[in-house]
């Protein structure tokens, strides 16, 4: 009996450990077009090619980032900046995706509601407003 209990606890711990390992990362990025292009900040290299291809910008500046633990059924506020932030509810999880309900706020105003299935290391890019001579882009990724 004790042996069976020990196995059960071990299994639960393994499951929990897998969930605990997952985090949701968000960033607020300023994308610009410059000649010559600025160096891409560390941590944004993976996104640079896509941003260049889709949005047409060759330089990136990290304005803020935030990472939180992600649990199935949980809710988190991700605040990469005071001006733009997310409320993320994890609706469900399977072997490959987190199904998330994501709300994007600017200050007190709700801009966008989306339900998305995010795979690990497969980001969501959100095109925000223009700021100065560049474009604000928000990034969300399960890691």
Give the interface size with other proteins as a residue count (CB under 8 A).
42
Q: Across the chain, which distance is largest between two alpha carbons, in Å?
A: 70
Which residues in the 7-46 window bind other proteins by CB under 8 A? 28
Stretch that binds other proteins, among 11-19, 32-40, 49-57, 69-77 (CB under 8 A): 49-57
DSSP assignment string, 9-52? HHHHHHHHHHHHT-EEEEEEEEEE--SSPPPPPTT-HHHHHHHH
Which residues in the 51-110 window bind other proteins by CB under 8 A? 53-56, 63-64, 81-84, 96-97, 99, 109-110
Tell me the C-alpha distance between 100 and 90, whole Å: 5
Provide, rounded to whole angstroms, the least separation between the CB of residue 130 and other proteins.
5
Provide, rounded to whole angstroms, the least separation between the CB of residue 125 and other proteins.
5
Provide, rounded to whole angstroms, the least separation between the CB of residue 81 and other proteins.
5
Closer CB to other proteins, 43 or 56, in the complex: 56
Residue with the two structure tokens 């891409």: 40
134-142 and 23-32 beta bridge pairing: antiparallel
Rule CB under 8 A: choose which of 7, 8, 13, 49 binds other proteins. 49
Tell me the C-alpha distance between 25 and 142, whole Å: 6
Provide, rounded to whole angstroms, the least separation between the CB of residue 8 and other proteins.
27
Residue with the two structure tokens 């339900």: 115
Closest CA to 28 of 140, 117, 134: 140
- Residues forming the site for other proteins (CB under 8 A): 28, 49-50, 53-56, 63-64, 81-84, 96-97, 99, 109-133, 136
């Amino acid at each position: 009996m004790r042996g069976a209990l020990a196995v059960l606890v071990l299994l639960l711990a393994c499951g929990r450990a897998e969930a605990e390992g997952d985090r949701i990362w968000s960033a607020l990025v300023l994308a610009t077009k410059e000649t010559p292009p600025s160096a891409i900040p560390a941590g944004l290299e993976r996104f640079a090619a896509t941003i260049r291809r889709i949005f047409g910008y060759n330089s990136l500046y990290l304005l803020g980032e935030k990472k939180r633990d992600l649990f199935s059924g949980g809710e988190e506020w991700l605040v990469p900046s005071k001006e733009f932030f997310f409320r993320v509810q994890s609706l469900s999880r399977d072997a490959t995706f987190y199904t998330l309900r994501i709300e994007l706020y600017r200050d007190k105003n709700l801009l966008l509601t989306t339900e998305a299935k995010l795979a690990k290391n497969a980001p969501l890019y959100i095109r925000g407003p223009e700021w100065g001579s560049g474009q604000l882009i928000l990034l969300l990724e399960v890691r």
